[in-house]
Amino acid sequence: MENSKLFVVFTAICVVLGAAGTVSAHQTWIEIDAMCVDLDDTVDVRLTEGHNFIGEGPPPFDVSAELVDPAGARTPLMKTGENDLYWHSSFDADLIGLYSILGLHVDENMWKVYTGPGSRPDRPDSLYTYLPGDVNWSEIDKSNWTDDWHVVLHYTPYKYSKAFVSANCNFHGTDRATEQPLELIPLDDVATVGTGDFEFKVLWNGEPLPDGTIQITGTRDRETKVSAICDYEGKATLPLNISCDWLITASAVNDTAHWDGEYDDTLPHGENYTGPGGFVGDTHSAALTLMQIREGDTVTMRAEIRPGIQFSVTPAYIDFGELDPGDTSDPETIVIQNMGSKDLKSTVEVTDMNGLYTGGLHIDASLWSEFETAVLKDEYVSLDTKLCVPEDFTGSGEMKGTMIFWAEAV
């Protein structure tokens, strides 16, 4: 009988609950099946959010997409569905020429607060913490904060994305601006991605930002990244020397390069803070999906025979947060996706040094040792995991464990 396994490592922190929040530098991007399509093909447009070109789920809060067709007409792309990985839409490529797909994701507004060293038990060297949404400052536990704490930045993240599709594989016009507020523009032929140096331009409201303000990054996967800083013309070159799909992103070089807004002396602060106030504004980032294109005077044939067992588990890391003995964590979702040619039966093995996870990890309301699920071919299942800390658990500090997913073909 065929079988396979995949490791997922996760961490829980068992210390006294504090006020520190977290923020994730998630990027939002557009996925499509191919940049070259046949006339009248239906193009599946998917927006996802994650790290390192690895989708982790549909973007939350406000998401929209727009299509610019070969004639220059702009139409909204309506949402057709959503699952654990994607926000879905589609369109029919019924005109010869270049289509530009533009995405916008407006994320939850955040507060970045200077709280001083040692204010976050999970990150003792951090000088900052992040708080989402509306905050009742009188109810926040500031016992670990310095008495001159203050808001550094109150902002809403705006994330722009772009992808190209051509019904005749002619990509003339990809170097034109499409009026996104923060726009990442490829200056070389997108059909040559993966063959060498590739130049980009980044514009803010149609104009380049000051020299050294913007960094662009090309990501192939978790291990493969290249970066460059834009010059006074907003231009930078990346060595895209690997033939593959690339995600190109643009954002501020550091968090002192603010996009818009102004200082506000009335923002919340500690009683001994005498500085100039906090910065109120919005942050902006952009992503461009570029896919490898093969052209020539010969036709290359390819076929891939899927193995019986091929599956993935996301995310690869779970943080159950800060818990006390007797607490039960909030549920964290794990997705098993079957990419093989056969239906699968999946089970789990859990190991840890302190007995926390082996005795307290629950999957879909059952102890992990009782867990078993079927994942049909080309389908996925979503699982809710919770950590129940025993009342008599005596350990403290960061507790790490490993979850191993086993699968066999059925």
What domains can be seen in the chain, in order of their start residue?
3-16+306-409 (2.60.40), 20-291 (no CATH)
Q: How confident is the model at residue 255 (pLDDT cuts 50, 70, 90)?
A: low
- Encoding tokens for residue 96? 């010869």
Query: pLDDT digits over 190-239, tens only?
Result: 988 888 999 999 999 999 988 898 999 999 887 788 999 999 999 999 99
Q: Which residues pair with 34 in a beta bridge?
A: none
| 98 and 171 Cβ atoms separated by less than 8 Å | yes
pLDDT at 68 over 70: yes
3-state SS, residue 369? helix
| 202 and 234 Cβ atoms separated by less than 8 Å | yes
pLDDT at 301 over 70: no
How far apart, in whole angstroms, are the C-alpha atoms of residue 372 and residue 366? 10
The mean of the pLDDT values for the chain is 86
Q: How confident is the model at residue 257 (pLDDT cuts 50, 70, 90)?
A: low
The pLDDT assigned to 398 comes to 86
Q: Give the contacts of 147 (CB within 8 A, at least 6 positions apart).
A: 270, 271, 272, 273
pLDDT at 14 over 50: no
Q: How confident is the model at residue 297 (pLDDT cuts 50, 70, 90)?
A: very low
Q: Residues 121, 126, 132, 134: is their CA dihedral positive or negative?
A: positive
**Least confidently predicted of 12-16, 51-55, 117-121, 162-166:** 12-16
Q: What percent of the chain has pLDDT over 70?
A: 90
